[in-house]
Amino acid sequence: MDETAKRYNTRPTHTYATGNVGGYKQSKERLTVAVCANADGSHKYGLYVIGTAKRPRTFPKDWYPRLIGITWASNKTAWMNTITFTEFIKEFDATMMRRHGGEEVLLLMDNAPSHKLEEGVVLQCTKIAFLPPNTTTHLQPMDAGIIANFKHHYKKLATRAHCQM
Burial class of 151 by CB neighbour count within 10 A (0 to 12, 13 to 18, 19+): middle
pLDDT grade, residue 7 (50/70/90)? confident
pLDDT tens digits for range 81-112: 999 999 999 999 999 999 888 888 888 888 88
Owning domain of residue 60: 2-163
pLDDT tens digits for range 43-58: 788 999 999 999 988 8
Cα(2)–Cα(59) distance, integer angstroms: 25
The pTM of this model reads 0.79
Count of domains in the chain? 1
